[in-house]
A = this chain, B = another copy of it.
Amino acid sequence: MTTQTYTVAGMTCGHCVSSVTEEVQAIDGVTDVDVDLATGRLTVTADKVETDAVRAAVQDAGYSLVDG
C-alpha cells in the first residue's frame, strides 16, 4: 500500500471537497482518500497510486492538481 499527496487548486467549500473525494475514491485500487480544504492537500492511498488517474479524477471533479 502506498500513500501519495498532491495539492488541488480551486476548491472553495465542502461541496468541492466532496466532489474531489468521490471522483478519486472511484479510481480502481484506491482504498483511502483525504482532502483538506484549507490547504488543498489531497492524500491518496492505493496499492499503487497512479498520478495520471488522480489528475484525471480531479479534473473530472472540476479542479486541477498543482505541479502534478
The answer to whether the Cβ of A13 comes within 8 Å of any Cβ in the partner chain is yes
Closest CB-CB distance, A43 to chain B, in whole Å? Answer: 22
Range for the number of chain A residues in contact with chain B = under 10
Closest to A10 in B: B13
The answer to whether the Cβ of A12 comes within 8 Å of any Cβ in the partner chain is yes
- Roughly how many angstroms separate A15 CA and B13 CA in the complex, as a whole number? 8
- Which residues of chain B come closer than 8 Å to A15, judged between CB atoms? 13, 15-16, 19
Give A1-53 interface residues, CB cut-off 8 Å to B. 12-13, 15-16, 19
- Which residues of chain B come closer than 8 Å to A16, judged between CB atoms? 13, 15
Closest CB-CB distance, A62 to chain B, in whole Å? Answer: 8
